[in-house]
Structure 1
Amino acid sequence: MRSLTIAVALSYFFPLIFAAYKIPQRSGFTLTWSDTFSQPGSISSEWQYDIGTSYPSGPSNWGTGEVQRYTADARNIYVSLNKQLNIVPLRNPRTGEWTSARIETVRDGFKCQAGGEMIIESRILLPRGDKQEGVWAAFWAMGRKFRRNGNDGWPKTGEWDIMEAANGGNTILGTVHCGVFPGGPCNEPNGIGGTTSIVRGIFNTYSLRIDRTYGDWQKESLTWSVNGIEYHKVSGYDIGDNKYTMLAVKVWLRDWLAVPTTDDQ
């Protein structure tokens, strides 16, 4: 079975004038979930907001040292009239507090079945411009047990970082996290990652392809690509432990900040 599992369109910082994302058709794949943000205003019921600075049972600052507070405020997250989701980190000039937004799919349990393939994909615009120090945009999937397990969940729940981009740079990162902290089969906390360069200020398509067609866990693989060009691949053989190759996931979108300078806003 093949499934094109996630297809979403995003833009960061400010609304743009591009048309809504048309879901690609792929031979042999069936679309199982998508959101093109076709209704201006707030996000659909397919998503839920993460609010504050942690899950109720999770580590503070979302476990990554983030300085912002996540909100559902329309100034931080909204769907524009041109049908794009905007996630906007903001600094309050009076208090110095940073706010941003992070959402995750309500649906969980997205999983590539044995013998099949699955693609998780999003079309995202990362803005050009100065004053992006500390801003870290991300599109990723995490094991569904993470929210329930809190401190005990990561990295054994698994995490696939499909796109991370920091500080306004042109380098993006794709990473798999798994196993135990520190060390383990995925060398935590670093994970097993690869990088490539992108052009900011335009929409790029970020994809993760999960392949389980071989029937051998050592040959199962995760392949990262940008605009159809592969740049990173990890197989079960690379990880070396069949407990950590595949998982059931939810999908997250976020913009977070790590100690930005006071005038970056």
Structure 2
Amino acid sequence: MNVSRAYTLAAAALIAGGSLMVSSDASAQTLVWEDNFNGPSIDGNKWIYDVGDGCQLGICGWGNSELQYYTSRPENARIENGNLVIEARRENFGSRVFTSARLKTEGRMHFKYGTLEARIKVPDLRNGLWPAYWMLGTIGNWPARGEIDLLEMGSAAAIAAGVTNRRVGAAVHWDYNGSQADYGLDYNSASDLNGGFHTYRMSWDPQFIRVSIDGQQYLEFAISNIEGASLHEFHQQYYVLLNLAVGGSYTGVMSNNAITAPLPGKMEIDYIRLYQNPGSELYTGANPPSGKFGVYTERADMNARLNYNGDANLWLWNNLTPISASAFEGNQLMAYRANAGAWYGLGVALNGYKNMSLFGNGRLKFHMRTTTPSTFKIGINSSFGDSWLDFVNGGQQYGLVRDGNWHEVSIPFSAFHDLDLRAVKQMFMVVSDPPAANVDVLIDNVYYQDN
């Protein structure tokens, strides 16, 4: 949902396809995932919310100067008459005077290659509403993670041309030799698209990404020249997002008083379906682990554990020098010295996601040895971003004693705020502001335990 329309033409020349044509028929593929929104409420096994105004992630206005506060309330997102309804409202909430909702399948459904189809109705957008049906890659940081926009409406250019409700756009964004690259096209319908349902379809294979509305293709993007056009992002798994933004850079409507679109405004989704061929990739987080899950431990009583030769890495972020020490158990441990005057941190990062939902009533456990009086944080990263717990000397220590001996730390997952255990990306993190004196930190026997 990036707002840039200054497309990188040098890169686009390498990858833009030819003439428009009707997309391939999804009926030749296998239906592997769908939501028809026929249940009493939004299915949490398929969707999770982005909440807030983005400031909590350091991207106020969600990086696009948007004016709304996203919530998970039924006022903004609900099932109604067999449709998913995303409703933008004019109301004071949090730091904003508009509310809406943004839903995503992150940690619940990711895929590589296939045909994704949705039947969507948008409201009267004139002017300042911005509906979006789009996708983000699961690996890396934007723009190197990649983005595919299948439906965006309400652009500043459409407003200026008087076709706000008739113009729909699709675009892709990626990293081209270290810089942001963008390519997109718009389609002007002969009649207004708001007020009625239309079928938006993306066909994605190793050669092309194609997007259509009601069978009329309006974007073709060639992705087979992976090295020449730096298109690695479009050959990895993506998840789906649906949202209705208010204002922002894409619309050119940047102030609360300039929003003239009728509110409340409803974006409605009748269904969304994914079809795939053999050899395509699909992740749904099925069969989550339980019992004891080893994050960084050599104990034999784990039901499952991370594989550091494939699905996980221990990253030293800053100001950590290995020191010699005896492990609490086994032969390996995290043993580091942090120098005074600089922040330090480390993280156990996954090459993907882990569904740890069965540990919701459980605990993060590890052994730690230190004498530092400095405050540090223990964290977990999930689809909501980072979630941290402060360890302040004299405060809640969860079993830690700062006497230089090994002590078990046991933290209930309920103590972490904004934690989505269904979509964990970094299973264990430690960070600290610059300490006043050198710090020795030793950590071992890290694991998750259910209830």
Fold conserved (TM > 0.5)? yes
Q: Deviations over 1:201-234 (max 9, x none)?
A: 111011111122xxxxxxx111111111112101
Deviates more, 1:238-247 or 1:157-166: 238-247
Check conservation: 1:47, 1:103, Cα contact below 8 A: yes
Q: Does the residue aligned with 2:195 lie in a helix, a strand or coil?
A: coil
State the 1:31 CA deviation. Answer: 1.1
Check conservation: 1:70, 1:101, Cα contact below 8 A: yes
Check conservation: 2:121, 2:198, Cα contact below 8 A: yes
Check conservation: 1:43, 1:78, Cα contact below 8 A: no
State the 1:56 CA deviation. Answer: 4.9
Check conservation: 2:126, 2:260, Cα contact below 8 A: no
User: Of 203, 206, 217, which residue of structure 2 is paired with 1:230?
Assistant: 217
Check conservation: 1:120, 1:209, Cα contact below 8 A: yes
Residue 197 of structure 1 aligns with which residue? 188
Residue 170 of structure 2 aligns with which residue? 174
Instruction: State the distance in 1 between where 2:26 and 2:42 align.
Output: 30
Aligned letter for 1:75?
E
Instruction: State the distance in 2 between where 1:252 and 1:140 align.
Output: 5
Q: Deviations over 1:217-255 (max 9, x none)?
A: xxx111111111112101024972242332211100000
Q: Does the residue aligned with 1:33 lie in a helix, a strand or coil?
A: strand
- Structure-2 change in CA distance of 1:193 and 1:183 (3 Å): same
- Structure-2 change in CA distance of 1:240 and 1:46 (3 Å): same
- Structure-2 change in CA distance of 1:242 and 1:161 (3 Å): closer
Q: Does the residue aligned with 1:145 lie in a helix, a strand or coil?
A: coil
State the 1:45 CA deviation. Answer: 2.8
- Structure-2 change in CA distance of 1:99 and 1:182 (3 Å): farther
Q: Deviations over 1:7-54 (max 9, x none)?
A: xxxxxxxxxxxxxxxxxx844311111100001344443100111022
More strand, by proportion: 2
Q: Does the residue aligned with 1:62 lie in a helix, a strand or coil?
A: helix
Instruction: State the distance in 2 between where 1:45 and 1:174 align.
Output: 28
Check conservation: 1:122, 1:207, Cα contact below 8 A: yes
Residue 142 of structure 2 aligns with which residue? 154
Residue 126 of structure 1 aligns with which residue? 122
Instruction: State the distance in 1 between where 2:96 and 2:204 align.
Output: 42
Q: Does the residue aligned with 1:61 lie in a helix, a strand or coil?
A: helix
Check conservation: 2:134, 2:241, Cα contact below 8 A: yes
Residue 110 of structure 1 aligns with which residue? 111
Instruction: State the distance in 2 between where 1:55 and 1:111 align.
Output: 31
TM-score (norm: length of structure 1): 0.72
Instruction: State the distance in 2 between where 1:139 and 1:197 align.
Output: 17
Instruction: State the distance in 2 between where 1:159 and 1:96 align.
Output: 27
Residue 217 of structure 1 aligns with which residue? none
Instruction: State the distance in 1 between where 2:176 and 2:55 align.
Output: 20
State the 1:73 CA deviation. Answer: 1.2
Instruction: State the distance in 2 between where 1:257 and 1:73 align.
Output: 17
User: Of 197, 202, 205, which residue of structure 2 is paired with 1:208?
Assistant: 202
Residue 244 of structure 1 aligns with which residue? 233
Q: Deviations over 1:107-155 (max 9, x none)?
A: 243112xxxxx11121100124xx7321100000101236xxxxxx111
Q: Does the residue aligned with 2:62 lie in a helix, a strand or coil?
A: helix
Q: Between Structure 1 and Structure 2, how many residues are aligned? A: 215
- Structure-2 change in CA distance of 1:39 and 1:124 (3 Å): same
Aligned letter for 2:85?
N
Q: Identity over the aligned pairs, expressed in percent?
A: 27
State the 1:174 CA deviation. Answer: 0.4
Q: Does the residue aligned with 1:178 lie in a helix, a strand or coil?
A: strand
State the 1:58 CA deviation. Answer: 4.8
Q: Does the residue aligned with 1:245 lie in a helix, a strand or coil?
A: helix
Q: Deviations over 1:93-120 (max 9, x none)?
A: 79971000000014243112xxxxx111
Higher Cα Rg, which structure: 2
Instruction: State the distance in 2 between where 1:34 and 1:170 align.
Output: 28
The answer as to 2:64 corresponding to 1:64 is: yes
Q: 1:130-141 residue pairs with structure 2 within 5 A?
A: 132-141=126-135
Aligned letter for 1:83?
G
Higher relative contact order (CA 8 A, sep 6+): 1
Residue 37 of structure 1 aligns with which residue? 37
